[in-house]
Amino acid sequence: MTSFGLYSRKHKPPDPENCSDMILQYKSSVIDKCGFVPEYKLPSDERVELAAHYTETVIIQRSKEQNEKYYREHVKSAYTSGTKTSSQLLSNDKNHSIRIDQLFSPDSDGNTPKTVILSGDSGRGKSFTLQKIMLDWASGELYSENFAVVFLLKCEELKCIFKEMNLIDLLSWSSGLTPYQISQILQLTPERVLFLIDGLDEYVSHPPIHFVPSHTNPSKKTSPMDTLKNVLRGVLLPESFMLVTTRSIAADPVMNLLKGPQRFTEIMGFSERGVQEYFHKFFQDELLFKKTYESVKDK
């Protein structure tokens, strides 16, 4: 079991009942934070329920070999006449789609991935999907048997923090739990921790990623991005699981930074049924829905 140095020496061993209360408190705050999203058609201070506007996207899974081939073609296409359209990709891969509740399911050999990479071009809904996963976990609708606690870390925010933090401080900052509460939870169930790490391509472009010394001490303070690096590679909290998002173009370099075993997936957008569902949520009038949907479909 992972030792949490500074905090574990000062306090008694974690109490399971106390940790359960802490996690329930945390889940309540997650629901308050993730349950709503901005509605850009409304004034800036108004929000709508995420669940009411979320539409399930098409996520496909590839083997490592398929991903390497796809990545080479994707990079090559950026320098030639153009990339494949999303409709072409969806047509080719629609039979391999999986749901978000299957991301950490064992494969045909019974192996469960430690790291799932969810790639996709900008605007495909990667961040939105992570927010939905957080909400569903906190509501008891997703991964409740798999993971005792889920933390969301956004690389775009982390790279702007210049104060040095250790892992416990970083998770306290992102979750609102105290360092003591974080330490207690991580000591009790390190193998049931899931990290959702959004925008890992921001990490890849954040130098100097190749010169950060590894350390196994969760009490050691470094920059947030350096602390994240040691989580990504499994140096810190190796028992934990990760779901990371990144742009498609950065997926291959990202895979080399992460602990295994890995599963590569890509978010492709909506299926035709999903598009219809999406438009139905915004256009209650049936005639207006059909007119708008057909207009977009024909483009």
Count other Cβ atoms within 10 Å, centred on residue 169: 18
Residue 47 has pLDDT above 90, yes or no: no
CA of residue 49 relative to chain centroid, distance? 20
* Strand residue runs (E) in the chain: 36-38, 47-49, 58-62, 97-98, 115-119, 149-154, 193-198, 241-246, 262-269
56-60, 137-141, 163-167, range with the lowest pLDDT: 56-60
pLDDT on residue 64:
63
Q: DSSP letter at 249?
A: G
pLDDT digit string, tens, across residues 57-95: 889 998 766 555 555 555 455 445 444 433 333 334 444
Domain 5-267 has CATH 3.40.50.300: yes
Count other Cβ atoms within 10 Å, centred on residue 35: 16
- What's the whole-number mean pLDDT along residues 29-49? 72
Which of residues 46 and 154 earns the better pLDDT score?
154
Q: What is the dihedral of CA 160, 166, 172, 173, to 10 degrees?
A: -10
- What's the whole-number mean pLDDT along residues 110-122? 93
Which of residues 85 and 131 earns the better pLDDT score?
131
pLDDT mean across residues, the chain: 78
pLDDT on residue 9:
46
Residue 268 has pLDDT above 60, yes or no: yes
Count other Cβ atoms within 10 Å, centred on residue 286: 9
Tokens 């992460």 sit at which residue? 258
Residue 121 has pLDDT above 70, yes or no: yes
Residue 145 has pLDDT above 90, yes or no: yes
Q: Structural domain boundaries of the chain?
A: 5-267
Which of residues 20 and 36 earns the better pLDDT score?
20
pLDDT on residue 95:
42
DSSP-based three-state secondary structure for 243: strand
138-142, 190-194, 210-214, 249-253, range with the lowest pLDDT: 210-214
